[in-house]
Amino acid sequence: MDAKNGTLYIVLTALAFGTMEIALKIAGSSFTTFQLTFLRFFIGGLLLLPLAVKDLIRRHVHLTISDWGYIAVLGIINVMFSMVLFQIGVNNSNAGLAAIVFSCNPVFTMIFSYVITHDALTRQKIITIILSLIGLCIVANPVSIIENGSMGLLIVLAAAISFSLYTTLGKLRIKKIGGSAMNSFSFIIGAIGVLAILFFTHGPVFSGIDSHSIWPLLYTSVVVTGVGYVCFMKAIELSGPANASFAFFIKPVVALILASIVLGEPITLRAIIGLALIIAGCVLAGPIERLLFKKKLSESPVLDTMPKKASDVAAAPLVVTVSREFGSGGRAIGRRLAKELGVPFYDTEIMQMVGQREGVSLDEVKKQDQSIENRFIYNLFDKYTHLASGAVAPKDELFLTETSVIKELAEKGSCVIVGRLANVILKDRPNTFNLFISSDPEWAARRVMLREKVDKATARRMIADVNRRRSEHCRYYTGTFWGYAGNYDLLIKSSEWGIADSIQLIMNAIRHRLSLEVARDEATEKQEA
On whether the CB atoms of residues 218 and 47 are closer than 8 A, the answer is no
Q: Which domain holds residue 430?
A: 310-528
323 and 228 belong to one structural domain: no
pLDDT score for 191 = 92
39 and 84 belong to one structural domain: yes
491 and 392 belong to one structural domain: yes
440 and 323 belong to one structural domain: yes
37 and 10 belong to one structural domain: no
19 and 39 belong to one structural domain: no
End-to-end CA distance of the chain: 72
Question: Residue-wise pLDDT tens for the chain (529 aa)?
Answer: 455 566 777 778 778 878 888 888 888 888 888 998 998 889 888 888 888 888 888 777 788 898 899 899 989 998 998 889 989 988 888 888 888 788 777 777 778 877 887 776 777 777 777 777 787 777 767 666 665 656 788 888 888 888 888 877 877 777 777 777 888 899 999 999 999 999 998 888 888 788 888 888 888 888 887 777 777 766 766 655 555 555 666 777 778 888 888 888 888 887 788 777 777 766 665 666 666 665 544 444 444 444 444 444 445 678 888 888 888 888 888 888 888 888 888 887 877 777 776 666 666 656 555 444 444 444 544 444 444 444 555 556 677 777 888 888 888 888 888 887 887 777 777 778 888 888 888 888 888 888 888 888 888 888 888 888 787 777 766 667 777 777 788 888 888 888 888 888 888 887 776 665 544 444 444 444 4
Q: Is the whole-model pTM more than 0.75?
A: no
245 and 321 belong to one structural domain: no
Find, among 345, 346, 327, the residue nearest to 494 by Cα.
327
User: Is 290 a member of any domain?
Assistant: no
User: Is 377 a member of any domain?
Assistant: yes
Tell me which of 162, 192, 207 is where a domain ends.
207
363 and 449 belong to one structural domain: yes
pLDDT score for 384 = 47
| Separation between Cα atoms, residue 466 and residue 338, nearest integer Å | 24
pLDDT score for 377 = 45
User: Is 384 a member of any domain?
Assistant: yes
pLDDT score for 294 = 56
SS3 string, 93-137, reads CCHHHHHHHHCCHHHHHHHHHHHHCCCCCCHHHHHHHHHHHHHHH
User: Is 390 a member of any domain?
Assistant: yes
Burial class of residue 341 in the structure, from the number of CB atoms within 10 Å of its CB (0-12 exposed, 13-18 middle, 19+ buried): middle
Find, among 136, 36, 49, the residue nearest to 87 by Cα.
36
Find, among 523, 305, 309, 256, the residue nearest to 434 by Cα.
305
444 and 382 belong to one structural domain: yes
SS3 string, 469-486, reads HHHHHHHHHHCCCCCCHH
| Separation between Cα atoms, residue 451 and residue 270, nearest integer Å | 59
| Separation between Cα atoms, residue 8 and residue 483, nearest integer Å | 39
User: Is 169 a member of any domain?
Assistant: yes
Tell me which of 262, 296, 331 is where a domain ends.
262
21 and 57 belong to one structural domain: no
pLDDT score for 188 = 92
On whether the CB atoms of residues 259 and 265 are closer than 8 A, the answer is yes
User: Is 398 a member of any domain?
Assistant: yes
User: Is 120 a member of any domain?
Assistant: no
| Separation between Cα atoms, residue 291 and residue 282, nearest integer Å | 16
Number of structural domains found in the chain: 3
Sign of CA dihedral 423, 427, 432, 433: positive
**Three-state SS at 71:** helix
User: Is 15 a member of any domain?
Assistant: yes
372 and 472 belong to one structural domain: yes
Residue 396: give its domain's CATH number.
3.40.50.300
10 and 55 belong to one structural domain: no
